[in-house]
């Protein structure tokens, strides 16, 4: 990025608004996640919004649903343990700037 625009992913996520559904549109098969021997696991670094983290103590996947921008990258990168679908109508992320 240029020096004139020091915008980080966190700054950009702050521009979004959300209409949350109490039922998440993301679930992770924790057994398959823990069995994956890749280190780091793909979804912990391909997600542009940093939705997924590996808990260092339990080895489980922590899902930060509130960061999700609904791009579907996680489902493409790790379909074997990520169940992702678009939120029901009218719910989820609302983009202010297209």
Asked if the structure places residue 47 within a domain, the reply is yes
Q: Which domain holds residue 19?
A: 9-94
Is there a domain that residue 1 lies in? no
Residue 4 lies in a domain: no
* Cα three-residue angle 11-94-29, rounded to 5 degrees: 85
Instruction: Report the number of distinct structural domains present in the chain.
Output: 1
Q: What are the residues whose beta carbons fall under 8 Å from the beta carbon of 82, sequence distance 6 or more?
A: 26, 27, 28, 29, 43, 74, 75
Does residue 45 fall inside a structural domain?
Answer: yes
Quote the pTM value.
Answer: 0.74
> Which domain CATH number covers 42?
3.30.70.20
pLDDT tens string 21-66: 667 788 999 999 999 888 889 999 999 888 999 999 999 999 988 7
Q: Is residue 3 part of a domain?
A: no
Is the pLDDT at 3 greater than 60? The verdict is no
Q: Which residues of 8-46 are buried (b: 16+ CB within 10 A; e: fewer)?
A: eeeeebeeeebeeeeeebbebeeeebbebeeeebbbbee
């Amino acid at each position: 990025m240029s020096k004139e625009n020091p915008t980080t992913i966190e700054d950009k996520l702050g521009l979004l608004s959300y209409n949350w559904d109490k039922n998440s549109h993301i679930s992770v098969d924790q057994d398959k996640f823990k069995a994956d021997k890749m280190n780091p696991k793909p979804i912990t670094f391909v997600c542009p919004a940093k939705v997924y983290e590996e808990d260092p103590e339990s080895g489980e996947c922590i899902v930060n649903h509130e960061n999700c921008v609904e791009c579907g990258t996680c489902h493409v990168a790790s379909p074997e343990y990520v169940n992702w679908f678009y939120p029901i109508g009218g719910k989820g992320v609302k983009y202010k700037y297209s």
